[in-house]
Amino acid sequence: MEEFDTHLEDDHLHVVAPPGSGKTVLGLEMVQRLDKKTLILAPTLTIRNQWYERMLECFVKDRNCIETSFSIKKPATLTFSTYQSLHSLFKNDLEYSSEKLLKFFQEAEIGTLVLDEAHHLKNEWWKPLFNLKKLQDCTLIALTATPPYDSEKNELKKYFDLCGPIDMEIGVPELVREGNLCPHQDYIHFSEPDAEQIQYIITYRENLMRFVETLKANKDFIAFIQKHPFYAETEAHLEEIYKNPERFSALLIYLNAAGATIPKTKVEFLGIKAEKVQFPSLSYEWVEALLTPFLIEEREYYEADEALLLHIEKQLRKIGAFDLKRINLTGEKSLYRKLAQSPSKLKSIVEIVKAESQNLQRGLRMVVLSDYIRKEFLEVQHNQSVSEINKLGVVPIFQFVRNAIKNDVDFPLRREKLGVLTGSLIILHNSVIDELSTLISAENFIQEILWETEFVIIKPNVQGSKKMVAAMTQLFETGHIEVLIGTKSLLGEGWDAPAINTLVLASFVGSFVMSNQMRGRAIRVHSLQPSKVANIWHIACVDPTSETGGADLELLYRRFGAFCGISLQGEPYIENGADRLKLLPETKKDVPLLNQKMMALATKRGEVMQRWKKAIGDGDVLVRELKVNYEKPQTHGQLKKLYFKDALRFLILELSAIFTVLLPELFFKNLTTLLAKGVLFFIYALVLGFAMILLPKTVKVVTLYLKYGRRDKELIKIAHALKTAMVAKGMILEAEQKVSIKVDAFEDGSLSCYLLGASAKEGILFVTYLQEIINPIENPRYIIAQSNWVRKKLGFSNYYSVPKVFGERKADAMVFYKAWKRYNGVAQFIFTRNTKGRKLLLKARFHSYQDTEKVTSRGALIWK
């Protein structure tokens, strides 16, 4: 709020803060300060009602002192509504007319528009909101817990076009320090697929490999590719090729993999000397890029070859790689579906319930969130085994936990403490019904005994339904229910139960938004338990046939990118992403041992609180940084030395070691030979031996150094150029000398880069643009080719994108280029929207395909 007036200079404010941190109260305070008629839009009725409730709790003593409305058709001083209601008004009353919409709200004198969690928007809801943004003298306030960073590019663009750039990101560490959120830790329980699932995965991969090998040997398809205009008449189609360089590259890479001889002239169109070209291997991604135009996008143009294409399509369909007009060879959807819903996860949940209940006893308040109810598993009869349950869901979880309690006399959770709450299914132990009746009249619900158990299905009437969630929440808060199993749709967002101290995410939804919202249920502070520490459990099924651990684990990595947390072991630090757990590379080695380790750490809640205190005390600001590394798993140690440190320095150190340690040792050990055959022979032998040992390494080191230089120094130069350009364009308001750049190098070879002294908004923009520059070239309007005389002679050039924000106008691009030359020296500035520029763009893109040291980067939030 101290910077409120500054942020509102452009009639816009976009704030990001975690779930449970008080965004609603913050929004109401901003509305009060603006003091104009306001329309507040929320994604659900529950969240809409929370705005009204917070207003009564925190801002007004008499609800009649301010005119409010829940009807968007009858705006008041404060109107609380939903995005769906706005769309309904736009569609049914205003006949999709943008002019009528603007006129309606201008006549209503709406001066402030509040968008709460705008990431929920459906496609048809965007248009009325963009029209509302055109209201004259209207201030837009956007509040969210998680921008949809993992959405499609066009969806993400629409989100930021509507909400504007982020002005302020309020971080978890600040909120934990101030006591607005409780200390918490994320844990993972790993499971392994059963034999049937593993066989399915192996068979899928074998079929996929067989398909690619068959495609490479398909003489008819090779001939079909060779007669394609891009290949047969390359020079006549250069303009189209330069507009679609990936496709031309895919044609050449396929033909190379198929063993066809590719004329030098074809390769030279890539801007690369034919004798130096190294084609990438034919990966599944390249096969997708090759086949998609022929089988989907431009199928009608190849009627003469329909029989050939249909045969390939049938092969893809047979192995499950052609679905919904999309070729998907990596198979992440079909494989992921198998792993994500693996029944082995049910056993993981039972183990977590048992361990947490043993640790917290009657103090446990656990919520388990799943995607589906799965009512078909309600009646697991006494002669049936729960092992026959083969899907993940609310009822399967309930049956597994119930069965574990029944069959294990030492199970710490009492059966009456287990409950289910979803929108259409409520289950309670029969001993808790009397307590429920004190909260909701028994007349408002009926009971149905669950097949041969002590549990009851509660079926409320219309009146009872309105109060049921609140009543079940109270039973949970007071400890009549200790483990509550529900759906993410009902309890995952907007549901408020501060007593939660353990959350199990049995959901395979991996979106940033939903993951963060679900965690938000657990990390709220509890006034009755000031020392509350929350454990958040994630469940992943490890694919033992995959080098990366499989699609389920990859989705978990993505989920961790949505939130900040404390490191699991070692020196405490706070960062987003899964790196802070430091256990993930071990997942394939010994799953039971890793789970045992996680369980042991989860019992130490007091240590978690101390780790938060220490990490928060060691920092004072949440910094948006760019983390950079270069992937080459087989020679990671070598890469660390060659690419992130000065390569020549290591060579000099090695030579020093030879002359100070090895040479004297050789001299004394071979003194007899020296005296017998003479000094000259000994020197020749030494020179020859050292040449054989050092020459290949020396050539490689010097070549790599000339090509790449020192990665940390290169990154600093690029970062300084960007900062200077941003200052010149007014994107950084502080004087250039007051904002500094910091680059940190880590033991694993990675680097991080961030701004110090800049605002949160400036830091976010800096990282975004820096990532654009260093990531592999896609299709920028301008690129920069960085080289020098020696590199040119060796045929090396490094290519960088000019960030889009500078590339829209040539004058802005020149500002960036001028700053670039100041720090990086002479470079070539290339406009890519003409024939010459597109040729160089194609060369730059193919250069990145050839590069065996792939750049990987991600924006990270870290407390410093």
Q: Residue 406: which CATH number? A: 3.40.50.300
- Please indicate, yes or no, whether residues 753 and 764 belong to a single structural domain of this protein: yes
- Per-residue pLDDT, 552: 84
Whether 497 is covered by a domain: the verdict is: yes
- C-alpha–C-alpha distance, residues 110 and 81, integer Å: 14
Last residue of a domain, one of 303, 338, 373: 338
- Please classify residue 293 by burial: count the beta carbons closer than 10 Å to its beta carbon, then call 0-12 exposed, 13-18 middle and 19+ buried: middle
Bridge partners of 143, per DSSP, are 15, 116
- Please indicate, yes or no, whether residues 730 and 702 belong to a single structural domain of this protein: no
- Please classify residue 529 by burial: count the beta carbons closer than 10 Å to its beta carbon, then call 0-12 exposed, 13-18 middle and 19+ buried: middle
Task: Enter the tokens of residue 706.
Answer: 């000339």
**Separation in Å, CA 633 to CA 356, 588, 852:** 37, 16, 11
- Per-residue pLDDT, 853: 56
Torsion angles phi and psi, residue 502, rounded to 5: -145, 130
Whether 626 is covered by a domain: the verdict is: no
pTM beyond cutoff 0.85:
no
Whether 683 is covered by a domain: the verdict is: yes
Q: Is residue 800 within 8 Å of residue 782, measured between CB atoms? A: no
- pLDDT average per 10 residues of sequence, the chain (864 residues): 79 86 91 95 89 93 90 95 94 92 94 88 83 91 82 77 84 91 95 85 89 96 96 89 86 95 83 71 92 93 95 92 80 70 90 97 95 88 69 94 93 97 96 96 94 92 92 96 93 84 84 74 92 95 82 82 89 90 66 91 96 91 81 38 42 53 54 58 58 53 49 88 94 85 82 86 87 89 80 66 94 96 93 85 78 70 85
Whether 824 is covered by a domain: the verdict is: yes
- C-alpha–C-alpha distance, residues 286 and 329, integer Å: 10
- Please indicate, yes or no, whether residues 312 and 299 belong to a single structural domain of this protein: yes
Q: Which domain holds residue 334?
A: 196-338
Q: Is residue 285 within 8 Å of residue 330, measured between CB atoms? A: yes
- C-alpha–C-alpha distance, residues 710 and 142, integer Å: 42
Whether 627 is covered by a domain: the verdict is: no
Torsion angles phi and psi, residue 228, rounded to 5: -65, 140
Kindly write down the DSSP assignment for every residue of 202-234, as one continuous string.
Answer: HHHHHHHHHHHHHHHT-HHHHHHHHTSHHHHTG
Total domains in the chain come to: 5
- Please indicate, yes or no, whether residues 95 and 150 belong to a single structural domain of this protein: yes
- Please indicate, yes or no, whether residues 128 and 215 belong to a single structural domain of this protein: no
Task: Enter the tokens of residue 581.
Answer: 């757990």
- Per-residue pLDDT, 683: 64
- Ranges of beta strands (E only) in 562-658 are 564-566, 574-576, 622-631
- Per-residue pLDDT, 646: 43
- Please indicate, yes or no, whether residues 723 and 690 belong to a single structural domain of this protein: no
Task: Enter the tokens of residue 545.
Answer: 């046939």
- Please indicate, yes or no, whether residues 211 and 141 belong to a single structural domain of this protein: no
Whether 60 is covered by a domain: the verdict is: yes
- C-alpha–C-alpha distance, residues 289 and 271, integer Å: 21
- Please indicate, yes or no, whether residues 594 and 668 belong to a single structural domain of this protein: no
Whether 176 is covered by a domain: the verdict is: no
- Please indicate, yes or no, whether residues 319 and 427 belong to a single structural domain of this protein: no
- Please indicate, yes or no, whether residues 160 and 117 belong to a single structural domain of this protein: yes
Last residue of a domain, one of 654, 672, 707: 707
Whether 247 is covered by a domain: the verdict is: yes
- Please indicate, yes or no, whether residues 492 and 587 belong to a single structural domain of this protein: yes
- Please indicate, yes or no, whether residues 373 and 515 belong to a single structural domain of this protein: yes
